[in-house]
Amino acid sequence: MRVGTVCYCTEQGIGYLPKWFYDAGVITDVVLYHHSSRTNRREWYPPDTPYLAVRNLTQNDAVEDMVNAVDALLFFETPFDWDILKLAHEYGKRTYIVPMYECTPKHIPVEPTRWLCPSLLDQRDYFPGNPFLQIPVPPDTVWKRRTTARCFLHNGGHLGLHGHKGTLEIMRAMEHVKSSVNLTIAVQDEQGFEKLLRQVPGVANDDRVAIVRRGRHHDSLFAYGDVFVMAEKYNGLSLPLIEAWASGMCVVTSDRFPMNTWLPQKPLIPVTSYTTTHISGAYMEFSEATISPENIAAKIDELYGADISEYSEQGRAFAEANSWDKLKPVWMEELSK
């Protein structure tokens, strides 16, 4: 079976996902779409991989050739040009989208053959009647036993839409943390992070906080630290949480659905309230959690110095149960239907 896609080749979730599916042999045919504001890693794919920077993708022979050649098309978050789905259906090809519900148009231009929900929240609230398929643990994840909660890590990355990773709240939490923690904040969006620092200038002078700009190399980010901290506001699928948990870290994040269905309950941060919002009027509404810095600080202080060996072992079990070896057949079966 041949499965095609159009995708970014950038160091972010929407770029990593197609790469992992390609490396695993689920996706066989790729057309790359140029990202205008990120570094494009064309070397991830063979040199002859088509690389486009045009809006109307269906008017390019490379796209039509791919659609004609494959049995199915698999997209992550967006097909970039919804007319690709029309073209695929005209050719009698199956189409699948792994959605990010908060970035899904309120009015879908063309329905795919099926939505493949990457979280229970996507399935329950936005795409009912479609299957939930667990995203496999990233292939470069290495489990490491963690024993005592001393070094904490927050990956701010590109900071996310609406600050959904809770980077600002975690920075403010350090004003309330009483324990002698070591907190590393890794960021890729330097300009955006400078704006946050202006709101919490004390963080830069806090001896307990190390700021790593430009982030860490992806395959080594989760080798550091004992506890991974995020104050997630609305994600259904959160790749950093999956990676941190599978690498053996204790994961501290918001006590909200669906994270509280697969992560241990005790390290989770209480949610203060929820607000209905959207990234813009053209996109689906969602519930955004409010997490107070005081609650984040209380959880950090509660965990500091604690034995987290059991959490680390549970992370290893999660990694084994959700490996590519275990889940690739599940994805192939669904794409074959």
Contacts of residue 185, defined as CB under 8 A and 6 or more positions apart, other chains included, come to 154, 156, 167, 170, 171, 203, 209, 210, 211, 212
Each residue of 65-103: pLDDT tens digit? 999 999 999 999 999 999 999 999 999 999 999 999 999
Reported as a single tens digit per residue, the pLDDT across 232-287 is 999 999 999 999 999 999 999 999 999 999 999 999 999 999 999 999 999 999 99
pTM: 0.94
pLDDT on residue 224? 81
Q: What is the pLDDT, as a whole number, of residue 216? A: 52
Beta strands in the chain (DSSP E): 3-7, 29-33, 51-52, 72-76, 94-98, 114-115, 151-157, 182-187, 209-213, 227-229, 250-252, 273-277, 286-290
